[in-house]
Amino acid sequence: MRQSAKRASFLDDLIELLSSMRFAISLLTLLAIASIIGTVIEQNLPPNAYLNQFGQFWEQVFSRLSLYTVYNAGWFVAILAFLVLSTTLCVIRQFTPMLRDIRSFREQAREASLRGFSHRASLAPALPPEEQCAAASAYLKRAGFRFRVNEREGGTLIAAKQGGLGRVGYFLAHGAIVLICLGGLLDGNLPLSMQISLSGKKPVSGNMSIGDIPPSGRLAAGNWSFRGNIYIPEGQAANNAILNVDDGVLLQPLPFRVELKRFNIEYYETGMPKRYASDVVVTDNETGEAFERTLEVNKPFEHRGITLYQAGYDDGGSVLRFTAHGMTSAAHPPFPISGEVGAQIPLGKTGHSIEITGFRPFNVEDVSPPPGSGTNSQPETAMLGSGARAANGKNLRNLGPLYTYRLRDPAGQAREYNNYMQPVQISGHWYQISGVRSTPAGEISWLRIPLDEDNSVNTWFAIHQSFFDPARQAELVKRFTSSTADKDEKASLKTIADHLLGLFAQGGMAPINKFIETSVPKDKHEEAGEAFIQVLQRLIWDAWMMARESAGKAAMEPDETNAPFVRDAFFALTASQRYGAPLYLKLDSFEQRQATILQATRSPGKPLVYLGSLLLTLGVFAMLYIRERRLFVLLKQGEALVAMSSGRKSVGLEEIFARHREGLAAVLGAPHTT
Amino acid sequence: MEAATSSPPLPQPPAVHASRFRQIRATDWLFAIAVIAGAGFAWSRYGHSMDGYDIAIFLFHVPLLIALGWAWRPFRPFAAVVAALALAGFWLYQGDLTRADQVFFLKYLLSSQTAISWMSALFFTATGAYWLGFIARASFAERTGNAMTWCAAVMGTAGLFVRWYESYLVGPDIGHIPISNLYEVFVFFSLITALLYLFYERRYNTRKLGIFVMPVISAAVIFLLWYSFTRNAYQIQPLVPALQSYWMKIHVPANFIGYGGFSIAAMVGVAYLLVSRGILAARLPKAEVLEDVMYRAIAIGFAFFTIATILGALWAAEAWGSYWSWDPKETWALIVWINYAVWLHMRLTRNLRGNMLAWWAVVGLFVTTFAFVGVNMFLSGLHSYGSL
Ligand code: HEM
């Protein structure tokens, strides 16, 4: 007996606490602080990223506290649960008193208590008593009050009130909080983790084709809450969404099939993306009816409670056709290679292999001179004129298709190559450009292959071969020495040429300079260097002429007009020593195929959340802007007692009371009482 | 009727809901007619380039402007002058951007950059004037400060309208409302905060709070200038797909009414703390008045911030496929919102009021500022505009 009483009182205390304003305040503060954590620690990164960031120990601690997925963490959800509980209790406890309050006019109010109000006045009406009530009522009506008249001995009380909706707002707003939290819970990843734990689903990791994914990796078709991605190349279709869970994926079968007809990207002339759009056909599995739609960012499409959004795009396996130019010493005529983006192409016996990693047909880049040369902003332009000035100093140009591939050597070392399909013009001359880097984040070093008069790279590659292919090299040296008839001179020229080519083949200019430093007296370094470079340029010239002969072109005279080509060829040859690839892939043609990435979501909580949001808005405005006011007019023999009370006191209230006091004084014909 | 006429004129007639309509005067009707006529004109000029949503928003603004003008009389001349200047700007352009540098009145007054520069200068002088007025106890200087603030607001608002027009001159596909990058929203923030302040200045008829509120606006303007000089942020940029949303057009303004209200509340909080310590108590409004200003500022801020956050969720739902993805900007918006929800509740408790409330409002400004710029500076996220 006593026990239960104690328990009851304990329960009361608990409810008291939970529904207390201070508890609500602490909860909200706690929630705010908890939310901060998730913005400071970037969420859902791969584990090793955190390892680098925090180190062994703290990485462990933080993951224990699940700080990498704060907003799904048990303790975070618990806070929300308490907020819901507290608000609910709060609303329930306030319900009856507030309802009573909304209903009643307090027409039973005692005269004594009225005289206790802080806003009150006693008027002396000149109006005959029988008209007073009507007059006062009329005024209150005009002033937007609802009222009850209570005849009592010793006078008449008109109990009026205004702004009862403010109270209703309280229920709307706080009920809305509950709705929103519940809705959010339904759309959070709680349902997913429950399915994983209850029906023993297991995320599959590593890349396996959709067909091979075991049932344990597939979610139920009827799954009522999920968010996943769909990757569809042009001309293909998908009927599964992929959910990324931890470091694996789960498969979500869809009740329809999405086929991508075409993916469109549009750009502004600044190169900024303007529009991503997927022309899709959505075909229902059961009814088989098909919808042709265009999905865009901010323009989703919903079918069977699943909403499809334009989330991203990628290459869908474009077919690229190359000519491969050999760059090894072994002579090798150009040969064709072709493959899809994403494909792996082994290179015969060399043991090398090519992975085509990417293709972008449209590359707007800033080809203006680097900063420092006129790109600094002048304050004047910022202060005056329109906001529409062209991005200053920027010179945006579409450099055309860019294709990237990785070349893996037999040792498994990969280098990444970024090549432009179209020749690029640099200070009046045309080049085929290829960039290479040995680490994904590394600095790109560029190879600029000069184009010959019929805009092809062949001439340069011919020169390249004469330089590095022993057989052709001998021929080159022979031609080089043919300039003189003298035997000894020939011999010395030959030794020089052989020696230089030998050194050059070991790594461009570096070995040559080294040689100079070791075997030439200091004061002669300069001229020796220049002499060697002259010899090399002569060799390039001769190689060029050999190339022209074998191409059946007329020989030329060395002069200003073709000096630049020799220079560029020379730089390209030196650069080619750092290029580190047995061949150069020149893109001849391509068939682009894009892929769209859609997001498919089913969020059952959405209606709740949206309804809650609406109620919350209404409620908040009602609470903050509709003030409950009660005005009492007690009409007695020769006196009219006016008293006013408000839900919450605010500074304007005295003025409002004064206004009504004067208004009533006027209609009751009482002298002003200021 | 007689009730209204017989009631003596009070300093600031407070809004008594039902009785408001009986206060409507001939000038009110004139203003309403002017607004409707103006809307008609705007429609005839620019209606063709509006789609359904634009039209809805456009129509929504007619009653809104009328209501504002009726509830707040000084808003009428403001609206009129802004409209005149903006139209003058449009007209001077004659569809040719290059005229910005050729036509005198465009180059030195009405082209967006110039107008916004004027706004900045005027805000600085206004701040100075309020301080001068306070230190030298010169009410004239304070009146000047008030006038300067109005002028700044006029220039800034007109400037934004002209910028809007300019964006369409850059390219019909590029044109968009100028609240889509950090530069534009900073201008917008200064304007909203200034207008809110001017409203309270009249509502509570005290000019003393200018010395607290104007520095915030000046700070915003300083950031604005730094930002536009160092980052060329003033350039009109086209909208990336994610920003091409109708929600944005309401989401952002609502947000900045919130930010504006909160910053005012914070500065009034400072005043409150001074007064409660007896500092300058004689020169500043009474503590309970300050408390009330704080409450009103936070109330309006909170109400609109609620709308803004909800609109943000609707927008996110369309752009990113989920109405809430705990992206840092979203999360910080939530934090700000909760912060002021807490404030409102503390006010309703017995023993957390007074200085505690004031401090909370002051700290709130830092939270708000971080949510406003800090997030873009320090945290990565989906919010594309104005990453610094
Ligand atoms: C995110 C959660 C919440 C929000 C956004 C919220 C919002 C509000 C707002 C705007 C007001 C009006 C304040 C004013 O009129 O000055 C209010 C009042 C109030 N809130 Fe909350 N509230 C929340 C949670 C809670 C909780 C958990 C409780 C439970 C203890 C609570 C209890 C109250 C009470 C008792 C009032 C006073 C109502 C009145 O007297 O009219 N609120 N709330």
pLDDT tens string A283-338: 999 999 999 999 998 888 988 889 999 988 888 889 999 998 888 777 678 889 89
| pTM score of the predicted model | 0.83
> What mean pLDDT, rounded, does chain A reach?
85
Q: Is residue A124 domain-shared with residue A143, that is, in the same domain?
A: yes
Q: Is residue A300 domain-shared with residue A326, that is, in the same domain?
A: no
Spell out the residues 6+ positions from residue B25 whose beta carbon is closer than 8 angstroms to its own. none
Atom of ligand 1 nearest to the CA of B347: 16
Task: Specify the DSSP class assigned to residue B80.
Answer: H
**Cα B353 to ligand 1 centroid, rounded to whole Å:** 15
pLDDT of residue B176: 86
Task: Specify the DSSP class assigned to residue A345.
Answer: E
Nearest chain A residue to B307 by CA: give it: A617
d(C-alpha B354, C-alpha B191), whole Å: 30
Nearest chain B residue to A40 by CA: give it: B379
Going by pLDDT thresholds of 50, 70 and 90, the confidence category of residue A5 is low
- Highest mean pLDDT out of A203-207, B4-8, B201-205: B201-205
pLDDT digits (tens, 9 = 90+) for A336-395: 989 998 888 888 777 888 999 889 888 777 665 433 333 333 444 557 777 776 544 456
Can you give the residue range of the structural domain that contains A230? 205-224+226-316+595-602
pLDDT of residue A130: 86
The mean pLDDT value for A644-664 works out to 85
pLDDT digits (tens, 9 = 90+) for B357-375: 999 999 999 999 999 888 8
Between A382-386, A430-434, B137-141, the lowest mean confidence (pLDDT) is in A382-386
Q: For residue B211, is pLDDT > 90?
A: yes
Q: Is residue A21 domain-shared with residue A128, that is, in the same domain?
A: no
Nearest in space to A160 (alpha carbons), one of A628, A630, A626: A630
Q: Please report, as a single letter, which amino acid is at residue B113.
A: Q
Q: Is residue A420 domain-shared with residue A347, that is, in the same domain?
A: yes
Going by pLDDT thresholds of 50, 70 and 90, the confidence category of residue B11 is very low
Q: Is residue A350 domain-shared with residue A312, that is, in the same domain?
A: no
pLDDT of residue A19: 82
Q: Is residue A510 domain-shared with residue A587, that is, in the same domain?
A: yes
**Cα B267 to ligand 1 centroid, rounded to whole Å:** 24
Q: Is residue A291 domain-shared with residue A407, that is, in the same domain?
A: no
Distance from the Cα of A18 to chain B's closest Cα (Å) equals 15
Spell out the residues 6+ positions from residue A16 whose beta carbon is closer than 8 angstroms to its own. none
Q: Is residue A571 domain-shared with residue A663, that is, in the same domain?
A: no
**Interface pTM (ipTM) of the complex?**
0.90
Determine whether the shortest distance from the Cβ of A174 to ligand 1 is under 6 A: yes
Q: For residue A227, is pLDDT > 50?
A: yes
**Cα A623 to ligand 1 centroid, rounded to whole Å:** 9
Distance from the Cα of A307 to chain B's closest Cα (Å) equals 8
Q: Whose CA is nearest to atom 17 of ligand 1?
A: B345
Dump strand ranges (E) for A44-95. Answer: none
Distance from the Cα of B57 to chain A's closest Cα (Å) equals 18
pLDDT of residue B218: 96
Q: Is B18 on the interface with A (CB under 8 A)?
A: yes
Q: Is A184 on the interface with B (CB under 8 A)?
A: yes
Determine whether the shortest distance from the Cβ of B341 to ligand 1 is under 6 A: yes
pLDDT of residue A42: 82
Chain A from 348 to 407: CB within 8 A of any B CB: 377, 379, 381-389, 391-392
Q: Is residue A608 part of a domain?
A: no
A621/B303 CB distance under 8 A = yes
d(C-alpha A471, C-alpha A538), whole Å: 19
Determine whether the shortest distance from the Cβ of A181 to ligand 1 is under 6 A: no
Nearest in space to B253 (alpha carbons), one of B265, B244, B261: B261
Q: Of the candidates A100, A123, A146, which is a domain's last residue?
A: A100
Task: For residue B89, give Cα distances in angstroms to A377, A644, B104.
Answer: 25, 53, 11
CA dihedral in degrees (B231, B233, B235, B236; nearest 10)? 150
Q: Is A143 on the interface with B (CB under 8 A)?
A: yes
Q: Is residue A555 part of a domain?
A: yes
Residue A635 belongs to a domain with what CATH number?
3.30.160
Q: For residue B376, is pLDDT > 80?
A: no
pLDDT of residue A367: 64
pLDDT digits (tens, 9 = 90+) for A407-429: 888 888 888 999 999 888 887 88
Q: Of the candidates A591, A619, A641, which is a domain's last residue?
A: A591
pLDDT of residue A343: 86
**Cα A93 to ligand 1 centroid, rounded to whole Å:** 13
Q: Is residue A278 domain-shared with residue A357, that is, in the same domain?
A: no
> Tokens for A583?
């061949």
Q: Is B149 on the interface with A (CB under 8 A)?
A: no
pLDDT of residue A364: 74
Q: Is residue A388 part of a domain?
A: no
Q: Is residue A95 domain-shared with residue A148, that is, in the same domain?
A: no
Task: For residue A156, give Cα distances in angstroms to A125, A153, A162, A190, A669.
Answer: 14, 8, 20, 62, 18
pLDDT of residue A455: 87
How many structural domains does chain A have?
A: 4
**Cα B14 to ligand 1 centroid, rounded to whole Å:** 25
pLDDT of residue A215: 83
Q: Is residue A191 part of a domain?
A: no
DSSP for A428-458, please give it.
Answer: TEEEEEEEEESSTTSPPEEEEEEP-TTS-SH
The mean pLDDT value for A273-289 works out to 91
Q: Is the dihedral of CA B308, B313, B314, B315 positive or negative?
A: positive
The mean pLDDT value for B66-77 works out to 93
Q: For residue A256, is pLDDT > 50?
A: yes
Q: Is residue A431 domain-shared with residue A558, that is, in the same domain?
A: yes
Between A396-410, B170-184, B371-385, the lowest mean confidence (pLDDT) is in B371-385
Q: Is residue A616 part of a domain?
A: no
Q: Is residue A214 part of a domain?
A: yes
Instruction: Give A-chain residues touching B18 at CB under 8 angstroms.
Output: 142-145, 162
Going by pLDDT thresholds of 50, 70 and 90, the confidence category of residue B386 is very low
Q: Is B323 helix (H, G, I), strand (E, B) or coil?
A: coil
Percent of chain B with pLDDT over 90: 55
Residue A102: CA count within 13 A, CB half-sphere: 13
Q: Is B120 on the interface with A (CB under 8 A)?
A: no
> Which residue from A19, A35, A90 has its CB within 8 A of the most atoms of ligand 1, so it is best to mutate?
A90
Q: B236, B326, B336: which to substitute to probe chain A, counting the most A Cβ within 10 Å?
A: B326
**Cα A170 to ligand 1 centroid, rounded to whole Å:** 7
Q: Is residue A155 part of a domain?
A: yes
pLDDT digits (tens, 9 = 90+) for A34-65: 999 888 888 877 777 788 888 888 888 888 88
Distance from the Cα of A550 to chain B's closest Cα (Å) equals 54
Q: Is A300 on the interface with B (CB under 8 A)?
A: yes
Q: Is residue A384 part of a domain?
A: no
Residue A295 belongs to a domain with what CATH number?
2.60.98
Q: Is A38 on the interface with B (CB under 8 A)?
A: yes
Q: Is residue A63 domain-shared with residue A121, that is, in the same domain?
A: no
Spell out the residues 6+ positions from residue B79 whose beta carbon is closer than 8 angstroms to its own. B35, B65, B68, B69
Instruction: Give A-chain residues touching B289 at CB under 8 angstroms.
Output: 651
